[in-house]
Amino acid sequence: MLDDSPINLLSMDRKTMESFFLDMGEKRFRAKQLLQWIYQRNVVNVDEMTDLSKSLRKKLGLEACFTMPEIVSQQLSKDGTCKWLLKLRDGNCIETVYIPEKDRGTLCVSSQVGCGLNCTFCATARQGYNRNLDVDEIISQVWIANNALESIGVGGYFQDDDSTNQSSNSTFTVDQRRPVTNVVMMGMGEPLLNFDNVVASMNLMMDDFSFGLSKRRVTLSTAGVVPAISRLAETCPVSLAVSLHAPTDDLRNRLVPINKKYPIEQLLDACRQYVGEKNRQRITFEYVMLKGVNDSPAQALQLAKLLVDMPAKVNLIPFNPFDGVQFARSNSKTIDRFTETLLDQGVFTIKRRTRGDDIDAACGQLAGNFHDRTKRSIRMSQQRVSFS
């Protein structure tokens, strides 16, 4: 035995797994075989891994395991979005969301149990924080989603149909199974506050012998942990999204409190360095539209001025309400006017379609079920933040 307890093979990237097999007296290529069985064939029973010798399978059965979260519930939205509540080994629960589209299947993956930050418009933040997720708990979300989608035969796409007379079932067209083609680290938690485990997980997602995703199909979303953005550029330059949500420090300090530590100017400098001089990719700036708070034409002009020299894409997100929040969603005319102002200033801008809000799976609505070590959930229920 290598340890008193079995080693979870889902916690290993290819390099770590190669060392594991070498320590067992096996050849390095066994790691590639095992990765393919786990992530490309969805097999986590060593007895079914027929190209491994019987002696190796027996040894793996004694010294290793495949431990992953348990599916507590699975909800399917009328638009095809699917949400899973996953129970971790310590009893805490996280949420993972799959969003099908005509040309892709995007999985929104969590990186923490709760969130270590305190953004005022986010349901996850109001629930508080418990701990970082381990590598196996992050990568398992992709495995579970792929396996569950295959099992239930989900894989259609949202219809662009404005009819209000359709039943909830008819708005989702089942075409063929769409596996997870894109991963966004936009679920519960701030990924850059769990840097090592998140990077190891993303590298595993991109491994040719695992899910084989390209760097452009893996996106990390951050509220602005500036030192870690620079570190990410050096170690794992995936697509970057930044939760901006305000054009001035005064407002962003109240909406996204980490801005007090890393103000907008520092954040944008880090973003410019991330894309480098060649500007081979755009930074996505997420901007949730809050009625009467950050949605005026003047604020759109301020935002455009901030991004004038940035290879940027602004993603305008209609606010998704949840119990106990004081914000409201900007109306469609306001969002359209904000969009037009940015476009007139030469800023590439898109309006995100709200997906999965009927099952609380939309952006900012993930909450999970966990013990809040910070007691923030209690404090937030007792206070209101004014933005008048």
Shortest CA distance to 194 belongs to which of 111, 277, 130, 262? Answer: 111
Q: How much helix, strand and coil, in percent to the nearest 5, is found in the chain? A: 35, 20, 45
CB-based burial label for 364 (10 Å; 0-12, 13-18, 19+): buried
- Reduced to 3 states (helix: H, G, I; strand: E, B; else coil), residue 83 is strand
Q: What is the DSSP letter of 348?
A: E
For the chain, give the number of residues. Answer: 388
Q: How many CB atoms lie within 10 A of CB 23?
A: 9
Beta strands across the sheet bearing 182-185: 70-76, 82-87, 93-100, 105-108, 182-185, 218-222, 239-243, 283-289, 312-318, 348-351
Helices marked H in 9-134: 14-23, 30-35, 54-63, 123-126
Residues 80, 72: Cα–Cα separation, whole Å: 19
Give the span between the Cα atoms of 161 and 165, in whole angstroms: 10
The H or E element containing residue 269 is helix 264-275
Of the listed 82, 108, 119, 363, which one is catalytic? 363
Candidates 18, 26, 95, 286; catalytic one: 95
Q: Tally Cβ neighbours within 10 Å of residue 159.
A: 15
User: Quick one: tokens of 133?
Assistant: 């997720």
Both structure tokens of 107: 């999985």
Q: Is 363 a catalytic site residue?
A: yes
Told to judge if 82 belongs to the known catalytic residues of this protein, a careful annotator would answer: no
| Residues that are catalytic | 95, 363
